Chain A
Amino acid sequence: MSELVDVETIAALQELVRHSESILVVGNRTKPALSSVAAPTQRVTTRSLSGIIEYEPSEFTFTALAGTTLAEIKAALASKNQYLPFDPFLTETDATADDNATTGAGATIAGTLAAGLSGPGRHRYGGVRDFVLAAQFVAGDGNLIQSGGKVVKNAAGFDIPKLLVGSCGRLGAITALTFKVFPRPVEFHTYQLQSADHEEAARLIAALARGRWELDAIDYRSESRSIWIRIGAAKAVCDAIATDISRSLQTHTVAPMTDEQAVQSWAPLMQLRFGGSNRRSIVKIPMVLQQMQRLATWCDDRRDKVSLHASVAGSIGWLAVADDTLADVDAFLADASMTGLVIRGDQQSTGRWMLGTRRSAPIDQKIKDAMDPPGRFPNLGGE
Chain B
Amino acid sequence: MPSVDLQTLSDLLPPGRLSDDAASQAAFESDGLTAFRCRPLAVVIPQNETEVVQTVRWCDQHAVPFVARGSGTSLSGGSMPVAGGIVISLNRLRQIIKVDPDNRIAVVQPGVINLHVSAAAARHGLYYAPDPSSQKICTIGGNIAFNSGGAHCLKYGMTSNHVIGIRAVTASGEIVTFGGESLESVGPDFTGLFCGSEGLFGVALEITLRLLPQPECFHTVLVGYRSLRAAGDAVSAVIDSGLLPGAMEIMEALAIEAAEAATQCGYPKGAAAVLIVELEGPREKIEAEKQQLESIIAATDAFETVVAADDQQRAGIWAGRKSAFSAVGKLSPDFLVQDGVVPRKRLGDALEAIEGFSKDSGLRVANVFHAGDGNLHPLILFDDSVDGELERAEALAGKILDLCVQMGGSITGEHGVGMEKREFLPKMYDEPTMELMHRLRAAFDPQTIANPGKMFPGAEAPALSSHGLHPLEKAGVISRE
Contact = CB atoms under 8 A, between A and B. Distances in A.
A331 to B, nearest CB: 18
A287 B182 contact: yes
A20 to B, nearest CB: 19
Given A152-B373, A159-B147, A233 B284 contact: yes
B102 A206 contact: yes
Contacts of A104: none
A170 B440 CA distance: 15
B416 interface: yes
B410 A153 contact: yes
A367 B416 contact: no
B193 A209 contact: no
B410 A155 contact: yes
B79 to A, nearest CB: 15
Nearest to A117: B184
A155 B184 contact: no
A182 B244 contact: yes
Interface in B422-470: 425, 428-430, 432-433, 435-437, 439-444, 455
B103 A154 contact: no
Q: Which of A126, A159, A167 has the most CB of B within 10 A?
A: A159
Interface in A108-154: 116, 118, 122, 125-127, 129-130, 139, 143-147, 149-154
A28 interface: no
A358 to B, nearest CB: 9
Contacts of B242: 81, 183-184, 186
A250 B352 CA distance: 57
Contacts of B281: 214
B285 A159 contact: no
B412 A288 contact: no
B174 interface: yes
B213 A364 contact: no
Q: Which of A157, A341, A369, A380 has the most CB of B within 10 A?
A: A157
Given A58-B344, A144-B432, A202-B102, A361 B176 contact: yes
A206 B105 CA distance: 12
B182 A286 contact: yes
Interface stretch (B154-162, B254-262, B298-306): B154-162
A155 B285 contact: no
Contacts of A276: none
Contacts of B408: 150-151
B220 interface: no
Contacts of A56: 343, 345
B406 interface: no
A315 B183 contact: yes
Interface string A264-308: 000000000000000000001011110100000000000000000
A237 interface: yes
A210 B124 contact: yes
B411 interface: yes
B440 A286 contact: no
B104 interface: yes
B5 interface: no
Interface string B227-245: 0000000001001101110
B379 interface: no
A212 B170 CA distance: 40
B181 interface: yes
Q: Which of A145, A234, A373 has the most CB of B within 10 A?
A: A145
Q: Which of B102, B374, B440 has the most CB of A within 10 A?
A: B102
Contact of B282 (A158, A241, A359, A366): A241
Given A143-B432, A163-B188, A214 B282 contact: yes
B186 A286 contact: yes
A157 B425 contact: yes
Given A206-B101, A367-B443, A146 B433 contact: yes
Contacts of B104: 209-210, 313
B409 interface: yes
B154 to A, nearest CB: 6
A289 B102 contact: yes
B214 to A, nearest CB: 8
B185 interface: yes
Contacts of B30: none
27 contacts: A56-B343, A57-B240, A59-B343, A122-B183, A143-B432, A149-B410, A151-B343, A151-B373, A152-B153, A153-B373, A154-B341, A155-B158, A155-B412, A155-B414, A158-B197, A160-B436, A163-B192, A165-B188, A184-B242, A212-B125, A212-B213, A214-B282, A233-B284, A363-B170, A367-B440, A370-B443, A371-B439
Closest 10 pairs (CB-CB, A-B): A162-B192, A143-B432, A370-B439, A366-B443, A206-B102, A286-B182, A154-B410, A183-B242, A212-B216, A315-B183
Given A155-B414, A156-B428, A162-B189, 10 more contacts: A58-B239, A59-B343, A116-B185, A151-B343, A151-B373, A159-B147, A165-B189, A210-B124, A314-B103, A366-B444
